[in-house]
Amino acid sequence: MLKPWAVATLLFGLFLVFLLGFQVLGPVVPASNLQFVHIGDSKDHVVSVLGKPAESQGSSWIYRRHLNPGWLEIRFDTNDRVVAINDESPLGRSK
């Protein structure tokens, strides 16, 4: 029979593995936030919903999450309106 401290250590380890797995394989931006960003939205709206991007490349904003190999790209037109949403989360689209 396992001692109580061994069970607690095992459960804590499993919890940490779950958190790390979600951090690495989960969506870059929560679906509950991304669902409010649509084609035609303004840059101000995107910032109010998703926050500031990790980087800006020309007309695109890139969102990233630490340890996560995925990214979310929001592209804007010359009027600063969303023209494309490219969600490259590791396990597919987050919405």
Domains of the chain, each with CATH number or no CATH: 4-88 (3.30.1450)
Amino acid 27: pLDDT: 78
Tens digits of residue pLDDT in 68-82 = 788 899 999 999 999
User: Is the model's pTM score more than 0.75?
Assistant: no
Paired with 88 in beta bridges are 71
| pLDDT tens-digit readout, 7-61 | 888 888 887 777 665 556 677 888 889 999 999 999 999 999 999 999 999 999 9
Q: Would you state the torsion angle of the CA atoms of residues 57, 88, 35, 15, taken in this order, to the nearest 10 degrees?
A: -120
Tokens, residue 33: 């936030």
Whole-number Cα distances in Å, 32 to 35, 40, 62, 77:
6, 19, 18, 25
